[in-house]
């Protein structure tokens, strides 16, 4: 695998500056003593460890077939404590795995990893609890027969997909980072996110999303993408790979071969990407190639049909031409290939759960993520049976196990897989990380239109109505500035009564700030009526897109329009600073905003952004 330094990658893109005052981007180093934060060296590089192939081969040779097959699986388990889960969580584990505790699941099946979620109650107790759970699972792995440490992963993409929230440091997500036009900021965000994950014992992040969002109606990617521009998406993908892996956290780019140009959600159905081979190479491939060149540890497959790459109509996760032929053969990727969640309908529509597990391994996949509820044992036994029958050769199984163990070695898990519970609270969400998040986020808010109503003046603005999908943090922030503000929340689907209430309230105020969230999506089209009726009152209206930036196409009569790309607490604080002129808006659109209903006519172009 070709590994390139951040310096060479940024220089190749015309961005040679690596460090600015106050940036927090460490290399292979420990946090500064007593600071709780990372050091500030002159450059960032990946932690370099080279696994000895002979040592890895010796470990693999000593493993049983059951232990090898276990390494392929990364299920979710229930509970916030490895040995003593709550009774309800213990009951769920017993139903799904035949044992009560997360530790017993790891030991019984010799798991290669686990994935954390809020809904499986892994993340409900804060950083110290998460670190304790991670350590308990690692102890179970160490005490099992093979003694191989676990991959412990989660989806901490930031922005709209953020599994671990405050007190962890939060960032506004990929599209916002690209709007900030600071590759350094994106790298810093990845490093800080990775450092906090590793402090909690989480050593794999299923990020960054490398999909190029060329379809504004994409229902599942949107702001999870950096951009509709392949080159911009490639630079930011590579920079985040290096940021995560400098923190000794495996980065996982997704969703190969590219989920950006679809109007279908692979959680619910099988999307088909109809790009020609030339279009795929031009639009979808660049961020994945950049991630591979940056030395990424892991690539996640998408449950996507791409006829230009595999004319049989097989989803990429199960496609040998795509996984072994394109990803490994053409791109030269020799790291770990992991599936997207195997509980998603994008891969289950035409295959049984048992077939899916076997076919994925045959296609060249190494790790099987998140078996459907109740199907884990069936998938595990199906792979065992396929190995026993020769349907999956021992050579093929060993190749995956070698890649998995090599990744674990290179991320330092064989040296020390444990979290330090005594320092985790000093690292997660510390002052330096929060300050860096604020600086980075302030660059991302994009002022798209302004008919002279912004910036606001706290002394002369008068009273403000805050309505739409988000009210409380904005009302509180205005109150802190001495501005009289009233909140009238309407949610994603405002009813006629809610719209009437907001319009009636507007008459008693000097300004309206309305927050929208994917108003361009037909599922939440009522937001358009809300904004347009507010405009009709004659009271100045400032609209803020809290997710996809395309909403203004449906209410062009607003007096000002901003895009924050997310509704994280950091984004909300930055929005308030921009609204009141405390921070100059400097974000630039990383996508075109098309005219409503048009696939070609542009309302606001890529790169557009106003200042004061």
What pLDDT is attached to residue 11?
A: 36
The structure tokens 């899916």 sit at 356
> Catalytic residue positions?
267, 340
Confidence of residue 2 (pLDDT cuts 50, 70, 90): very low
SS3 65: helix
Q: Pairing relation of β-strands 156-158 and 161-162?
A: antiparallel
Average predicted confidence (pLDDT) for the chain? 91
Domain spans, the chain? 64-432, 445-604
Confidence of residue 248 (pLDDT cuts 50, 70, 90): very high
Print the SS3 string covering 548-603. Answer: CHHHHHHCCCCCEEEECCCCCHHHHHHHHHHHCCCCCCCCCCCCCEECCCCCCCEE
* Homologous superfamily of the 64-432 domain (CATH): Glycoside hydrolase, family 3, N-terminal domain (3.20.20.300)
What pLDDT is attached to residue 220?
A: 86
CATH code for the domain defined by 445-604: 3.40.50.1700
Q: Which H or E element spans position 132?
A: helix 127-143
Q: Cα-flanking dihedrals φ and ψ of residue 156, to 5°? A: -100, 60
How far is residue 92 from each of residues 78, 109, 153, 196, 344, measured CA to CA in Å? 7, 16, 20, 29, 20
Cβ neighbours of residue 489 closer than 8 Å, sequence gap 6 or more: 467, 468, 469, 470, 471, 472
Confidence of residue 327 (pLDDT cuts 50, 70, 90): very high
Cβ neighbours of residue 273 closer than 8 Å, sequence gap 6 or more: 257, 258, 259, 261, 262, 280, 284, 304, 305, 306, 308
For 262-304, the pLDDT digits (tens) are 866 656 668 899 999 999 999 999 999 999 999 999 999 999 9
What pLDDT is attached to residue 346?
A: 64
DSSP-derived letter for residue 300 is: E
Q: Same topology for domains 64-432 and 445-604, yes or no? A: no
What pLDDT is attached to residue 350?
A: 86
What pLDDT is attached to residue 10?
A: 37
**Is residue 47's pLDDT more than 80?**
no
Q: Which of 32-41, 379-388, 411-420 has the lowest mean pLDDT?
A: 32-41
Confidence of residue 44 (pLDDT cuts 50, 70, 90): low
Q: Using CA atoms, how far apart are residues 134 and 81, in angstroms rounded to an integer?
A: 9
**Is residue 101's pLDDT more than 60?**
yes
Q: Are 212 and 225 in contact (CB under 8 A)?
A: yes
């Amino acid at each position: 695998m070709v590994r390139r330094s951040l310096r060479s990658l940024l220089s190749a893109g015309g961005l040679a500056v690596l460090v600015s005052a106050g940036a927090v981007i460490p290399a292979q180093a420990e946090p500064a003593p007593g600071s709780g934060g990372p050091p500030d060296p002159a450059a960032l590089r990946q932690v370099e460890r080279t696994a000895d192939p002979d040592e890895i081969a010796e470990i693999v040779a000593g493993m049983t077939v059951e232990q090898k097959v276990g390494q392929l699986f990364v299920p979710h388990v229930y509970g916030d404590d490895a040995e003593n889960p709550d009774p309800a969580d213990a009951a769920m584990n017993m139903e799904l795995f035949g044992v009560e505790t997360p530790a017993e699941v790891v030991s019984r099946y010799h798991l290669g990893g686990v994935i954390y979620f809020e809904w499986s109650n892994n993340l409900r107790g804060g950083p110290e609890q998460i670190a304790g759970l991670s350590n308990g699972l690692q102890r179970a792995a160490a005490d099992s027969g093979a003694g191989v440490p676990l991959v412990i992963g989660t989806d901490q993409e930031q922005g709209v997909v953020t599994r671990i929230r405050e007190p962890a440091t939060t960032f506004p997500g990929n599209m916002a980072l690209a709007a900030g036009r600071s590759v350094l900021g994106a790298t810093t965000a990845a490093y800080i996110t990775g450092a906090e994950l590793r402090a909690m014992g989480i050593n794999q992040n299923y990020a960054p999303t490398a999909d190029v969002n060329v379809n504004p109606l994409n229902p599942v990617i949107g702001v999870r993408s950096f951009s509709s521009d392949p080159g911009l998406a490639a630079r930011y993908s590579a920079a985040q790979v290096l940021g995560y892996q400098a923190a000794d956290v495996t980065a996982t780019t997704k969703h190969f071969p590219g989920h950006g140009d679809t109007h279908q959600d692979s959680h619910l159905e099988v999307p088909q990407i109809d790009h020609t081979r030339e279009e795929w190479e031009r639009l979808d491939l660049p961020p994945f190639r950049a991630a591979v060149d940056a030395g990424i540890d892991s690539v996640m497959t998408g449950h996507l049909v791409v006829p230009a790459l595999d004319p049989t109509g097989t989803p990429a996760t199960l496609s040998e031409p795509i996984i072994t032929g394109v990803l490994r053969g053409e791109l030269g990727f020799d790291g770990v290939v992991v599936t997207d969640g195997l509980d998603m309908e994008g891969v289950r529509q035409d295959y049984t759960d048992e077939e899916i597990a076997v076919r994925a391994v045959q296609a060249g996949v190494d790790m099987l993520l998140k078996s459907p509820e109740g199907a884990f044992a069936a998938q595990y036994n199906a792979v065992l049976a396929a190995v026993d029958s020769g349907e999956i050769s021992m050579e093929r199984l060993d190749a995956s196990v070698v890649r998995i163990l090599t990744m674990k070695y290179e991320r330092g898990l064989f040296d020390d897989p444990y979290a330090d519970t005594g320092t985790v609270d000093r690292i997660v969400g510390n002052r330096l990380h929060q300050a860096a998040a604020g600086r980075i986020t302030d660059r991302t808010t994009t002022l798209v239109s302004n008919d002279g109503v912004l910036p606001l003046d706290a002394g002369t603005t008068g009273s403000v109505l805050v309505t739409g999908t988000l009210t409380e943090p904005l009302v509180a922030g205005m109150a802190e500035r001495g501005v009289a503000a009233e909140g009238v929340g309407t949610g994603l689907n405002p009813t006629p009564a809610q719209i009437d209430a907001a319009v009636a309230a507007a008459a008693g105020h000097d300004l309206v700030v309305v927050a929208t969230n994917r108003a361009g999506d037909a599922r939440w089209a009522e937001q358009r009526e809300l904004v347009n009726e507010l405009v009709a009152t004659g009271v100045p209206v400032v609209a803020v897109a809290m997710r996809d930036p395309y909403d203004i196409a449906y209410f062009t009569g607003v007096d000002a329009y901003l895009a924050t790309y997310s509704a994280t607490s950091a984004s909300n604080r930055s929005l308030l600073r921009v609204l009141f002129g405390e921070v100059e808006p400097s974000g630039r659109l990383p996508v075109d905003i098309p005219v409503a209903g048009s696939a070609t006519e542009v309302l606001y172009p890529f790169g557009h952004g106003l200042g004061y």
